A and B are shown apart, each in its own frame.
Chain A
Amino acid sequence: MVLEIKDLFVSVEDTMILQGVNLTVKGGETHAIMGPNGTGKSTLASICMGHPKYKIESGDILVDGESILDKSVDERSRMGIFLAMQNPTEVPGVTNFDFIKAALQTRMEEGKHLRVGKFILEFETASKDLAMGKGLAHRFLNQGFSGGEKKRNEILQMKLLKPKFAFLDEIDSGLDVDALRIVGENVTELKSPELGLVLITHYQRLLDYIVPDFVHVMINGKIVKTGGLDLIEKIDSQGYEWVRTELGITDFDKRPEPVSLGTCPTKSLK
């Protein structure tokens, strides 16, 4: 069970975001990707999920040796890829229960139906594990949820959908200390040879709870350094400046050039 990202170049609206990313994630491994803002960490997760906003210029993404570039978002999900999103979308009128039930049903073989009783028990257990409170099943998907509840709801979905490869995109943002512990414990419980994990984060605190096997530093759309837990400590105490110095990266703080949005409509009087 392996996910391979090979020399991936990705652009959005003619701006190159990823510039040759290489990453291999095997079942049972936990990878952490760290890096300054705007270096393409979230883009990497979104492009693996198949977000239509991004354009792959070159390179490949493979699951067990098979390219997934021609797969739609839902096909990738059913193949076992999961993305816990930074800003989960609200869907009014659709209950959590109906949504996850539909997501599980669509994974089943044609003609087979979900055992609802068993699903209800699993849903309630996962909800309790994540301290989501009673009534979650009947609440509308992410509507009116606090930032922390949205993140925990992503992990709840992950627990129930049982993906093979999961990207957790800044799952720690918006979480207080207790919620971070709960999320960390729940994700750690899910660790198994059947799950490859990719954590995207800015801070060490998440990695105190979910200990990674590999730590990658991403700058300017590229993974520029890979190491172990010692790398986290160094980043936490010294930031990313030393990486730039060590590797001779000169455009570390490169920001996109200002772009004109055009002019406001005008009216001319003749």
Chain B
Amino acid sequence: MKQPDYLNTKANVILYHADSIENKSDFEIFGKHLRLQGTGTAFVYLEDYQNTQVYIDVLANSNVQLYMIYKTSKPSEYDIRFHLENHAVLNLFSLTRNIEIVNLKIHRQFHIENNARLNNTKALINMGFTTLEDEVHLDSPNATVNIELLNIGAYNDKFVVTQDIYHNAKSTTSNINNSLISHANSELDYSVSGRIAKGNEFSVCRQQNKGIILDENGVIQVLPKLYIDEYNVEASHGAAIGQMDDEQMYYLQSRGLSEQEARSLIISGYTKPFVSAIEDEDIRALVERQIKKRINEANIV
């Protein structure tokens, strides 16, 4: 299969296409399991992969940067299972791209062990109807997950996103930061839950959701939920959803920016911190292009 140009110079590429897997990396694949061991960077590219289940194991003491790109031209459903062993670190960046308006469903389950950390960054800037279900189990003490998500909806896009965090052990930490932009008739529907069971003291569960609705027909709905059954924990949640802030617009315009420039700058305030955190230059450029294209196509600014 042909891999996209932006991956041509990459050292570790794994291609999932139709019903086949092509491993051009130093990492091993056993059956359905991709085993990430040691230190390094890998690029997983999934294009209309039919065997929807994928297993990714990050072995103990490993530290891996993994870029996952989902490209879809027909209705697709993926089920990805991650397992982070003790002291493993996985910096995961995921990008969904589709060339047609199709239904895409991604279910991801993460199990994180003792002292392991998942930094989970996700760009949802594709067309169509997308369902994302993230289920994170912090199974052992000092397991951590940090989630940064950027979602831009335009036209009649619909996104249904569920984020469930299970604090299954003491001293576990979760941080969720969702940045949402809705334009035209797009609907962004979020259910964000944190669960700390009794006995799992010293755990920290934080959720932050901010959303901007650019058009009167746009919808952003966020249901932040905390299910806490232990006193000695730290938990917070919040959702700030609204239209373009008049005072911010006035402030920027009072320095000479036109209405369009001010809107563009405020929107960049949502996207830029996210984009600038992407380490790989080619992937960062790809995301920048996709955001720009999406915003320009939708005439957001």
Contact = CB atoms under 8 A, between A and B. Distances in A.
Interface size bracket, A side: 20 to 34
A93 B257 contact: no
Contacts of B261: 74, 102, 106
Given A74-B259, A102-B261, A106-B261, A91 B254 contact: no
A102 B270 CA distance: 17
Interface stretch (B133-141, B152-160, B243-251): B243-251
Contact of B268 (A89, A93, A161): A93
Nearest to A94: B269
Contacts of B255: 77, 99-100, 103, 157, 161
Contacts of A67: none
Interface string A70-107: 00111001100011010011011111001110110011
A52 B255 CA distance: 15
A93 B267 CA distance: 9
A128 interface: no
A90 to B, nearest CB: 8
Given A73-B250, A99-B252, A91 B257 contact: no
At the interface, is chain A mostly helix, strand, loop or mixed?
Answer: mixed
A52 B250 contact: yes
A73 B272 contact: no
B23 to A, nearest CB: 38
A5 interface: no
A161 to B, nearest CB: 7
B interface, over-half SS: helix
A49 interface: yes
Contacts of A214: none
B265 A99 contact: yes
A88 B251 contact: yes
Contact of B269 (A77, A89, A92, A157): A92
Contact of B250 (A89, A94, A161): A89
A93 B269 contact: yes
Contact of A106 (B245, B247, B254, B257): B257
A203 interface: no
Given A74-B257, A102-B257, A106-B261, A93 B252 contact: no
A89 B253 CA distance: 12
Contacts of B265: 91, 94, 98-99, 102
A51 interface: yes
B31 interface: no
Contacts of B272: 93-95, 98
B256 interface: yes
Contacts of A89: 245, 247-248, 250-251
A102 B251 CA distance: 13
Given A51-B250, A88-B251, A91-B248, A106 B266 contact: no
A209 interface: no
Interface in B230-287: 245-248, 250-259, 261-262, 265-266, 268-273
B253 A73 contact: yes
Contacts of A82: 254
Nearest to A74: B253
Contacts of A74: 253-254, 256-259, 261-262
Given A74-B253, A74-B261, A85-B251, 15 more contacts: A49-B254, A72-B253, A72-B259, A74-B257, A77-B253, A82-B254, A89-B248, A92-B269, A93-B266, A94-B265, A94-B268, A98-B265, A99-B255, A100-B255, A103-B256
Closest 3 CB pairs of A and B: A93-B269, A89-B251, A77-B256
Interface of B: 210, 245-248, 250-259, 261-262, 265-266, 268-273
